[in-house]
């Protein structure tokens, strides 16, 4: 069964945000500096939070709205 294209798009977008966020978080652990912690929290953490929110919106948001067809 094919997924709804909107769900697919949202999942891909959420996946991109989460992937980037997780990679940034992991990278900051190789840098023992206070700035690394701020990058972890403010960049990585925000991207992960955004990705989680987009995912939650994808699964509970309106994707099965009936479409109207011309002439009907």
Binding site for other proteins (CB under 8 A): 1-3, 7-8, 11-12, 14-16, 18-19, 21-23, 25-26, 28-29, 32-38, 40-41, 44-45, 48, 51-52, 55-56, 59
User: Least distance from C-beta 61 to other proteins, angstroms?
Assistant: 14
| Nearer residue to other proteins within complex by CB, 33 or 69 | 33
The token duo for 36 is: 């690394």
Q: What are phi and psi of 13, to 5 degrees?
A: -65, -45
Q: How far apart are CA 5 and CA 11, in angstroms?
A: 10
């Amino acid at each position: 069964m094919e997924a709804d294209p909107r769900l697919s798009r949202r999942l891909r977008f959420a996946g991109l945000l989460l992937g980037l966020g997780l990679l940034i978080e992991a990278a900051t652990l190789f840098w023992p500096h206070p700035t690394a912690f701020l990058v972890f929290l403010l960049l990585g953490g925000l991207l992960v939070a955004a990705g989680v929110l987009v995912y939650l919106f994808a699964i509970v948001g309106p994707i099965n709205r009936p479409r109207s067809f011309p002439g009907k």
